Each structure stands twice: as structure tokens, then as C-alpha cells.
Structure 1
Amino acid sequence: MADLPFQEAIDFIAQKVNLPTRRSDDLRHGAHVRAFSVAGVARDDMLSDFRSAIEKARTQGTSLADFRNDFDKIVERYGWKYFSHGKTDEERSAWRSKIIFTTNMRTSYMAGRWKQLTDPDVMRYRPYLEYIHSGSLHPRKLHLSWNGKILRADDPAWRYMFPPNGFGCFCDVESRSERDLLRMGKSGPDPSPDLNAYEDIDPRTGQPEMRIPGIDRGWEYNVGHEWLHGLVPTELQAPLPPIGTPAPARPLPPLPKPAKADPADILPENDTPENYLSAFLAKFGLNADEAGYYRDASGGIIGIDRSLFEQRMPDGTVVGLKSGKRGRGQYAILLADAIQSPDEIWVDWAAVKSGTVLRRAYLKRVELDDGRSMFIRFEWTKNGWTAITGFDTTENYIEAYRKGALIYRKN
């Protein structure tokens, strides 16, 4: 009998948005749930080819060997120079293709498992989950210590310890009923493990991040729970349409009511572009001549420096700053706040001189001290940033900028 397709796992892959990245930690937690990425793949077309190979494996059940063949063809097609382990090209290809394949197969499988296991009809009869260690010859000690531990499916511990809990983690869970527990000699679930969460520092950004002992950095989340209850409501989860394809019309909930702007965040009129730039960078803890990274609310990482506001000639020569352009420089701090505390983050396609690129947009509405409502959309592509602002804008005006695929929405 042929295996039935795992529809929940297929749906998990299908709702993802392609996001090029340069490093494995360019995205974190919820961003991995919403985004399809391959570390080091910054080309949209190459990423789409990897996406197609993974979707084929998920929907058709093709093997790691089949994916390895696709991987080698993609690498040859684009001349990709990738990071890997191994002394020979064959060893390097085998290691890297296995990482990409198993990571996507495991996360989609476990996301689908979570959706199945927490279905109300299932939980009515099987309200417990048992942690099953993979049996690895070189186990992670805490994973091994959780083997056989039974907790209620709604125990908060599963928010962090539901597998996979790291690269190469093949731990699993099984649902259990009251009868199962009695047969095991248990009168109830086991005590929840003390996960001893502690705060560490993101080495790229300097921002605080939570860590859990025994769980690899970046894996401190439940992929299924984040998919169903995370940054983007399930009814708004849709993949990014192909280039040139009109997005299907769908009703969107309104943006949150405008937040009150702090009068101290409105800078003086007719100040210098340099001062506006300095005020913007200061919100990220940077001086005017410094560069840094910032991890946004979706879990994605972006670069911040003065080049965001530099005006350049076609040959790249810097001729000035656009931070005071059109008299909007006095709102530079509000622009920074739109990145740090957006209402929504969208991804869509943008046409530029060099072709078509992905564009990330941060949307926020604020109410100024004089009663005016201000709409901010801060856009980023690999070619630079653009800030769009409008006052007392209509709903139709705002809706025109809410397009593409939603990767974050403020609760």
C-alpha cells in the first residue's frame, strides 16, 4: 500500500515565504516557521530551486539520495560556493545536502505532528505526550534524560522541548491516554522538567536572547505551536505569489489603532541631515560612523548603518544624505521605531534597475501630538532602504501597501 501524503507537513512547507539569507542565524524561531531559507543562498532564483526540491521530497516522498542529486545540479547551475564539512567534494556535498534535507523534513514533519496531536478530538482521548529519544549513539544528555517523560499536551514545557531540539535531533513524541498511563503504572503525568531558562546575548546584535540548556541555539521553540499560534494568524498565512502574479484578494483585519508618539521623539524642523541620521542610528545604539545588526520582531536580522540614507551617483559616489528629504527628517526616530516595534512586516516583489528583488516592509501607524495620524512604511531591498510616510491617510491608501506575504503581525 502506498504511503498517504502527510498533508499537515505539506501545508507547513506551502505557507512559507522564500527569504534569502547569508548566514544560518539571519533568521530565528518564528522566522524559520514563516520563511524558507538556505544559509548562504542570497539569490531568489537559486532559493526557489531549493524550495522546489524540498517540496518534491515532502509531497512525493523522494529520498535523501534524490535530493542529493537535485542539490548537486543546483550547485553546478549557479556555481554556488557553500560552507560544508569534508575533505572531498563528495563528502562536502553529502554533508551539506543532508543538513538542508533533514532540517526541512524534520521541522515540517514535527509541525504536522503537533497539529495532529493537539487536535481537540485527539486530546479528548489522548491528552498526554511522551518524549521519545531517538536512540542516537552519541546522545545529547538532556534529550536522553527526557526519554519516557510523559506530560500533558498543554504543559508549557512543550513550548521549548518539543522536538526537533537541534540540528540532527531525531527525537519524537507519542500521544498517550489515561489507560496508557495506568498500564505504565502511573497515576498521572510526570513532573514538568525544570528547563532553567537563562538569558544570553545574540552575538550578532548584542540583543538579549533566551537559551534553554540541552537545546541548540535557535531551536528554543515549538515549530508546530509557532506555526499555529505564532507571529502570523493561520488565516493570513499565504505563500508569496510568483513574480508578476496578482495576489488573490483576501480580507485583512485593520492595522492596530495608531500608537501615541512621544513628543520628545519629534526632532526639530530644518535640522541637518547628519543630525537626523545620528538620531536614527542612536535608537540602535550606534554612532554616526558605526554599523551594526538588528533582529526584528519576526526573528529576521537586518544591517543598520549610514549607508541606508546615503544618496549615490550611478557610479556609487556618495553625494549626500537623504535623511532630511521632503521635510520628514524630524520623524527619523519614528522611522527607527517602525523597525523596532512595527504593526506588521510584509515581503513582496519590487522592480529595480537590475531586475526584480525581494522587498521587506515595516508598517506602523502613530498619532502625533497635534492629533494627526501618521502612516510609516520603511522598505528594504538588497539595493537599499526607502521610507514612505503619509498623514491622515485613508484606509484604501494603507491597504495598497499591505501586499505580498505577511511574516509578522503585532498581537
Structure 2
Amino acid sequence: MADQIPFKEAIDFLSGKVNLPTRRHDDLKQAAHVRAFSVAGVTRDDMLTDFKAAMAKAEAAGTGLKEFRKNFDAIVDRTGWRYNSHGKTEEERRAWRARIIYTTNMRTSYMAGRYKQLTDPDVLKYRPYWKYVHSGALHPRKLHLSWDGLVLAATDPAWRIMFPPNGWGCGCDIEALSKRQLKALGKDGPDQAPDLRPYEDTDPRTGEPETRYPGIDRGWAYNVGEEWLNGVVPPEQRNPLPPFGEAVKPAADLPSLPEPVKVRAVDLMATGLEPQSYVDRFLKAFQIDAEGGYFRDRSGGIITIGRTMFQQHNVQGDVFGLNADKRGRGAYTLQLADAIKEPDEIWVDWAAVKSGVVLRRAYLKRFILPDGRSLLVCFEWTSKGWTAVTGFDTTEVNLSQFRKGALLYRRK
């Protein structure tokens, strides 16, 4: 039996991912999974590293689910990981969870690689049509089955939504066709795209409006290959995050941040207000009250927003005040909020805290103030709290100290 040729494109897709710990499967949403490697319920980087290595082995060596299951069992036995799963017995529970992790990562990697191959200009020239191929599952999704044999132009916008996989366990595929093959199917041209009119739903974590599409599982309404090649992180900046302990240096040869946003005078708050006034206005920008809540950022990740972001603590840990107007930055409260809601870039790296090591997200944005000065806002978040940095030094040298680790998002 000949050796299996490794699928280089799929391997490249997986290798560029960043380990991001998550507690729930929707801590990350849709295209966030293109940049992030996560396993729901795994909050330790060493476990994620082991799972990612097991997936990389499966892709590079062509080993199957049976071999991955051995790795899964070894990781669970070594770490004592308590995971959510289905099944009456421990064997059934392990088999179900291992299969979910394996199939989800293998299918997304495979289809990202397929998309890169199929969109090669030379391939598109001779095979400009794509046919939807149903997986043949015994219990099919009705809409997926109805799309079987559907032929659309490779450039049809419908593929941005319905390019497989289109849900958990979806094994559907795409076949590229030439004009001659299209005619052999009895077609004079491509079919009409299916009705993919969106409908509004609600993000159960944040309460924000959420767009859904017929036939597409929640969280799967994106084209994994297109997002990989043309998404929110430029290809040349998709580096993985080094393990903790290795020096995380500022990224080299970075393009400049996107053009600064001009601030209107009306968008600046008055100076000298009570700190609570600034906190209330900040939370209002997120439509979150003083009790706090969740917000899904531009990279697709969940973060916490609340009054605690501005609380000051003494050495005993007691709250003694609010730092919302520290160094006079209260006037820029709306810009602080905007840096989180619509950042120029989002970076992730490591931070050492009293309880151990956590991942830190840095939200960067530049503004031009009405008086012509350039304002830099850097809001840093970890699961242990927030840190805000504002300043007027926006030189490349100063910016570089914040642009380090792995890039999760860049504003186009």
C-alpha cells in the first residue's frame, strides 16, 4: 500500500492556530475558530497543546480516529479532565467526545485546504463551477440533502454561507466541475442558489442580535477557507503563540496600524466629573448595567464587561475607589469603549498573575483628537481583570511594545 500524501494545505491551516482556552463551545464564535485552536472545557494551555499535537499527527501521518482516541485517553488519564459528553458508560462518553473533537478539527482543516486548492487561479480557470455533495449520512439534515447535486458558480456569494462544513458532524463536500462536466450533467449553466435569506436570533451569551441562516447550525455560518485566506488576520501575520516561558517579542515587520479615527468634540466627555459618571457612560456604550455582562469582541471571543473594570483595590483586596478618571482619561471614556468594540487590532499573549499564568488580550486603537493630537488606547483583558493604558505617544517604537504575541484581529 502506497504511503498517504500529507494534505499540506490542511496541515498549514491547523499549524497557524493559536491555543485559546475556553469553558464553553460558544466562548468563540464562527470565524474565530479559524484563528483559534480550542476544545470546549479545556482551560489549560498544556492540554490544548497535547490535543493540537494529536490532531497534527492525525493530519500529517494520516492516522484515523482510532489512533486519536488513544491520545485522547492518555490526555484524560494524565490530567483527570472532567468533560461534558453523552453516553451512559464511561466508554460511550469518551468515544463520543473524542469523535467530536476529531471530526470537527479534521473536517474544518480539510475543507479549508480544499477551498485553497479550488480557488487556485489555474483550477478556477478550468473548473469554474462547484457542486454540493451530500455526505450520505443515515440521518441527514433535510436542507443539506436537498442541496446534493446543486451546481453554482465558484464565485456565487452563497458559498460564503453554505461552503461545508455547515454544522456539527456535517460531512458534506464540494466537487469542482469544468464546463464540459456541467453539460454532461444536463445543465446549460449553474443552478439558482438556494434561499439563504437570514433571520434574526439572539446570542444567548450576550443578548445581542445574531444572524442565522436556514440549514446552517448556529456558529457555522461562515466559509472556513475564505476566512482563512481572506479573513480578519492577514496571512503573513498568522503566527502561533509561543508557549509560556519563551520570550514573546514584539512582532517584526508589521504594517502600520489602520488609519486613526477622528474624534468629534461631542464624543469627548467633560473633565472633572465624578468617577461613577464615567463608569456609567462606559457601560451604557455596551448596553450593560452595573451588574456587568458578556460582550463578544470582533475576534469572536467572549469577554466580561462591568464596573469591576475600574475598581481600585488595596493590598488586602478590598475595593476603595474607581480609577475611571486616572490621569485625566475620563474625558476619553467613549474612546476607551470604542477601542474594545471596534479595535484596530486584537493581540493575545501571556500574563503572569498571583494565581498562575493567564492569556491576555490587548485591544489597540488610535484616534485623532479635535485639537489634532493623536491618542493611543490599549485596553488589556485577562480572566482576572482589566488594565487600561492611554497615551499620546503613537510612534511605531511605542506601538511595538503592545503589538506582540499572536494577532487575533485586524481592522480592514
TM-score (norm 1): 0.96
Partner of 2:231: 230
Between stretches 305-314 and 92-101, larger displacement belongs to 305-314
- Quote the offset at 1:63 in angstroms: 1.8
Partner of 1:269: 271
Q: Is the 8 A contact 2:248 2:404 kept in 1?
A: no
For 2:58 and 2:320, locate their aligned partners in 1 and report how far apart those are by CA, in whole Å.
Answer: 50
Residue 256 (str. 1) matches residue 244 (str. 2): no
**Identity fraction in percent:** 63
CA deviation profile, 1:370-411 (whole Å, cap 9, x unmatched): 111100110011221111111143221012211111111111
Q: Is the 8 A contact 1:26 1:300 kept in 2?
A: yes
Give secondary structure in 1 for the equivalent of 2:233. coil
CA deviation profile, 1:123-157 (whole Å, cap 9, x unmatched): 11111111000111111000000000111111111
Between stretches 170-179 and 262-271, larger displacement belongs to 262-271
Give secondary structure in 2 for the equivalent of 1:160. helix
For residues 2-401 of structure 1, what are the structure 2 equivalents within 5 Å? Answer: 2-243=3-244, 244-247=246-249, 250-288=252-290, 290-401=291-402
**Two-structure CA RMSD over aligned residues (Å):** 1.5
Q: Is the 8 A contact 2:358 2:382 kept in 1?
A: yes
- The number of aligned residues is 410
Q: Is the 8 A contact 1:16 1:238 kept in 2?
A: yes
State the one-letter code of the partner of 1:171: C
**How has the CA–CA distance of structure 1 residues 380 and 249 changed in structure 2, closer, same or farther, with 3 Å as cutoff?**
closer
For 1:156 and 1:333, locate their aligned partners in 2 and report how far apart those are by CA, in whole Å.
Answer: 36
Q: Is the 8 A contact 2:152 2:190 kept in 1?
A: yes
Uncovered stretches (5+) of structure 2, i.e. residues with no partner? none
Q: Is the 8 A contact 1:9 1:108 kept in 2?
A: yes
**How has the CA–CA distance of structure 1 residues 369 and 251 changed in structure 2, closer, same or farther, with 3 Å as cutoff?**
same
Q: Is the 8 A contact 1:18 1:37 kept in 2?
A: yes
For 1:79 and 1:36, locate their aligned partners in 2 and report how far apart those are by CA, in whole Å.
Answer: 21
- Quote the offset at 1:314 in angstroms: 4.8
Show structure 1 runs of 4+ deviating over 4 A: 246-249
State the one-letter code of the partner of 1:263: A
State the one-letter code of the partner of 1:200: D
- Quote the offset at 1:353 in angstroms: 3.2
Between stretches 50-59 and 219-228, larger displacement belongs to 50-59
For 1:213 and 1:260, locate their aligned partners in 2 and report how far apart those are by CA, in whole Å.
Answer: 39
For 1:394 and 1:249, locate their aligned partners in 2 and report how far apart those are by CA, in whole Å.
Answer: 15
Q: Is the 8 A contact 1:372 1:392 kept in 2?
A: no
- Quote the offset at 1:198 in angstroms: 1.6
CA deviation profile, 1:9-60 (whole Å, cap 9, x unmatched): 0000011111111111111122110111111112222222222221121222
State the one-letter code of the partner of 1:337: D
For 2:197 and 2:330, locate their aligned partners in 1 and report how far apart those are by CA, in whole Å.
Answer: 45
- Quote the offset at 1:325 in angstroms: 2.1
State the one-letter code of the partner of 2:275: P
Give secondary structure in 2 for the equivalent of 1:255. coil
Uncovered stretches (5+) of structure 1, i.e. residues with no partner? none
For 1:199 and 1:249, locate their aligned partners in 2 and report how far apart those are by CA, in whole Å.
Answer: 39
CA deviation profile, 1:295-352 (whole Å, cap 9, x unmatched): 1111111111112222234553323222222222222221111000101111112233
CA deviation profile, 1:165-211 (whole Å, cap 9, x unmatched): 00010011111111111211111111111212222221211222211
TM-score (norm 2): 0.96
